[in-house]
Structure formats: C-alpha cells, structure tokens
Chains A and B, each alone.
Chain A
Amino acid sequence: MPQFNQDALKSVRNKKNRRNSRDPRQRNRNRDNMPDNSGGNGGGNSDGGVGGDRVTPPLQDQPTVRPNSAFGQGFDPDMYGDLKANPDILASQWMDQQGIDPMASGGMAKVWGDLSAVMPQLFYLTQGLGANGAGAGDTSFLDYAGDFMNQYTSTGGGAVGSNVLQNLFNGPDQNSVLGQMINDPSQDPATQARTVLGLIGSGLATNMSGASGSAIMGRAQQLATEWMREQATNGANTITFPDFLKQNGFSEQFNY
C-alpha cells in the first residue's frame, strides 16, 4: 500500500477548503499566501491578489461605493459579487436580522427560496434600464435586496407591478445591463433564450397565480424553441428573442 505524506495531503486539503469557503476571512487568509499579481494596484485594500482558481476582479473593478442601506452595509465588499450570484445568502441574512428561522417552517422555506431566486432578475427588470447600466451595480443590488425583502414582508406590500415585464419588451437602452443581457449576440441562441425566459419567469413568479404563470411560461418556452429553430435555419442573430416574442404577440398580454 503506497504511503502518503499525510502532512502534505492535509496542507492541500486545508488550502482547498479555504479557497472554497464562503467565509471571506478564510479566503483572504488564502489569498494572503498567494503571490500578488494585481499589477501594482495594492494599497488601501488588501484584496489585490489572485488566489488559486478563484477569479478575483482587478482592484479597479471592485466596488468602491458602499451600499446605502444599513442592510447592504452589513456585508464585506469582497463578497458583493458573490452575493449577487448567490442571493439566497442575502435572504438568509435578512431573515436572521428579523429573527426568522428559515428551518422552522417548511412551507415558508419554499417562499424564501422563490423570493431569493427571483431577486436578481427583478432587479434587472425594474432598475436596469438606466443608461450605462446605472443602478445595476453590485452595491445597489444589496440595497435593492434589503428593500425587496422588506417590501415582500410588509403588510399590504410586496406586489411587483404586473407591467414589470413591459420593460423587457420596451426596447431598453442597449448600453444598460438589461439591454446587454437580452441582446448578447456572442451567446449561443439557447443561452440567450434561457436568459430571457429566466427574466420572464421571475417577472411572473411574484405577481401572478401559479397556474397563469405556468401557462404563460409554457407559451414562452414553445416560442423559444421556434426562435432557436429559426436561428438555426435563417442564420444566427437575425432577430432577437424578445423581438421574436413581440412579433408573435406574446408581449401583448403584459399590456404592452
């Protein structure tokens, strides 16, 4: 039986655990041991290195503006990007602040999951219309997330306007985050369709009954298949998926 160097194995395992850890302190500890190849951007912020296989944005791309809300300011700036990709952490943090135990109620747990899942897409739909993607930064997303959870848990509040999907079909500024998301010719048609379908699903999830939402999503998915077939036969990017939906009368049901 081959003999392993147990100490070396433990060291590798510890490094891997630290690298994969959600705890920013653990990750910082890991990065501190890595060579700094940030190109002289150090100073004022210890987050200058590239640690292992984790892609860290260059320092100038790190959000420098703190969120406005007390909720948003409760997070480590190093985590902003991660939180946008994992909004369930934000929901969990919000519940913790409210003294709500997510494990205590099985039925509500699904609602928390649904709410956190649609947060980023609703953020893009409702706020991503500004020029150059104004309002779509990581920091403002944290403010939005706290506000969103507060609204959805306030008496008489929380309904996303049923016309929120109008934004999707209303020709958003091509420079905005939403505009870039729904019209990205560099992505394959399946990915483009999936992005738009995700936005539609999120827009429906919080303001429409499950049966109506499912029926609309079913139609959208059907049209996505047709659009992808057309892309395959007529050449890619002849028409954007949102425009195709509009052309087929899909957007009319959102009072557009």
Chain B
Amino acid sequence: MAGWTGNSNGWGTSLFDPASVYGSTQYQPGEWADTGAGSMYLNDNPEVAWTRALAELGIDPNTAQGKFSRGQWPQVLEGYKAANLTNPNLRIEDYVKTLNPNAMYQNQTAAERGETPQANTIRARTIGRAYGAA
C-alpha cells in the first residue's frame, strides 16, 4: 500500500489539499486512498496518483515546477507500464512514490523545462550599447 500521508506543508494546495477532509466526517485525509477500494479507484484513474504525490511534496500545480511536473505525466505513466512488466502486482500509487519529482525538475536546464527566462530580460547587446553611449 502506498501510505498516503495526508500531510500538507501548506504549499501545492491550489488544486488539491492533501490535508483537507473535503467535508468527510468519516475518513481522515489519506485514509480512504489507502483502502483496497481506493486502490481500485486509482487503477481506474492513475493520473490521480501523480496529482496526490505532487501535492504531498508541496509542488503547487500552478507554479513553474508544478506545470513541469504535471507535464511529465505521460512519461510517468510510460515508466509505470514498463515497471509493471517487471512486477505485475505493482500499483501506480506505489510506483509514483519511488519517483523524485524535485530532482526531475532540478536536473533540467530552464530551456529543457520549457521555461523562457530570457523572454523578459533586456538583451545583453542593448545593455552594452547603453553603457557605451554614456
């Protein structure tokens, strides 16, 4: 079983808050996700496991890292399917726990992450000319 913590560090909650009970009076956060029925639900909706894993790490879906990580889902699913061929009993919720979304993000250059930091900066040539003119 995955062992969903239901913990939240206050970040990453704009889409899903792992610490919220969402109005439930019967189940604590993470409790239901750790049941057999919850596991079957994740089997039907595997992308949900990735959303929960990212949220528990405090990766907000609306930040640059969050957008990058959410964009990794096709690769994550592919990785899971490959791993599933090694262990047919491997569940998606257990697989996503083996990944390190922070490292996946940090190991990329800005351009590889799809970011364009230079878009809003002054061209170096322009700066040089300005200083030269002075």
Residues of chain A touching chain B, judged by Cβ–Cβ distance below 8 Å, are 98-99, 107-108, 110-112, 114-115, 151-159, 162, 206-212, 216, 253
Q: Which residues of chain A are near B36, meaning CB under 8 Å? A: 151-154, 157-159, 206
| Highest count of chain B CB atoms <10 Å: which of A99, A152, A253 | A152
What's the least CB distance linking A112 to chain B, in Å? 8
Q: Which of B1, B44, B84 contacts A111 (CB 8 A)?
A: B44
Q: Which DSSP category, helix, strand, loop or mixed, fits chain A's interface?
A: helix
- CB closest chain-B residue, reference A204: B88
With an 8 A cutoff between CB atoms, is B102 at the interface?
no
Q: Which residues of chain A are near B81, meaning CB under 8 Å? A: 211
Known: A162-B89, A208-B88. Is A111-B26 also a contact (CB below 8 A)?
no
In the complex, the answer to whether A212 meets B44 with C-beta atoms within 8 Å is: no
Q: How far is the CA of A216 from the CA of B88 in the complex (A)?
A: 10
Q: Which residues of chain B are near A212, meaning CB under 8 Å? A: 84, 88-89
Known: A98-B26, A209-B91. Is A108-B35 also a contact (CB below 8 A)?
no
What's the least CB distance linking A196 to chain B, in Å? 20
The number of chain B residues with a CB under 8 A from chain A is 21
In the complex, the answer to whether A209 meets B34 with C-beta atoms within 8 Å is: no
Q: How far is the CA of A173 from the CA of B9 in the complex (A)?
A: 56
In the complex, the answer to whether B89 meets A107 with C-beta atoms within 8 Å is: no
What's the least CB distance linking B61 to chain A, in Å? 19
What's the least CB distance linking B84 to chain A, in Å? 6
What's the least CB distance linking B75 to chain A, in Å? 16
What's the least CB distance linking B22 to chain A, in Å? 11
In the complex, the answer to whether B84 meets A211 with C-beta atoms within 8 Å is: yes
Q: Which of A152, A207, A211, A216 contacts B37 (CB 8 A)?
A: A152
What's the least CB distance linking B70 to chain A, in Å? 19
- CB closest chain-A residue, reference B28: A155
With an 8 A cutoff between CB atoms, is B72 at the interface?
no
Q: How far is the CA of A156 from the CA of B43 in the complex (A)?
A: 16
In the complex, the answer to whether B89 meets A208 with C-beta atoms within 8 Å is: yes
In the complex, the answer to whether B39 meets A158 with C-beta atoms within 8 Å is: yes
In the complex, the answer to whether A155 meets B34 with C-beta atoms within 8 Å is: yes
In the complex, the answer to whether B41 meets A107 with C-beta atoms within 8 Å is: yes
- CB closest chain-A residue, reference B40: A111
What's the least CB distance linking A43 to chain B, in Å? 44
What's the least CB distance linking A118 to chain B, in Å? 10
With an 8 A cutoff between CB atoms, is B115 at the interface?
no
In the complex, the answer to whether A209 meets B41 with C-beta atoms within 8 Å is: no
Known: A209-B84, A209-B91. Is A153-B44 also a contact (CB below 8 A)?
no
Identify 21 residue pairs between A and B in the complex whose beta-carbon atoms are under 8 Å apart, listed by A's number: A107-B41, A110-B44, A111-B37, A114-B40, A153-B36, A153-B37, A154-B35, A154-B36, A156-B1, A156-B34, A157-B36, A158-B35, A206-B36, A208-B88, A208-B89, A209-B89, A210-B43, A212-B84, A212-B88, A212-B89, A253-B88
What's the least CB distance linking B49 to chain A, in Å? 11
Q: Which residues of chain B are near A158, meaning CB under 8 Å? A: 35-37, 39
Q: Which residues of chain A are near B35, meaning CB under 8 Å? A: 152-158
Q: Which residues of chain B are near A112, meaning CB under 8 Å? A: 37
What's the least CB distance linking A207 to chain B, in Å? 7
In the complex, the answer to whether B41 meets A108 with C-beta atoms within 8 Å is: yes
Q: Which residues of chain B are near A108, meaning CB under 8 Å? A: 37, 41
Q: How far is the CA of A206 from the CA of B89 in the complex (A)?
A: 10
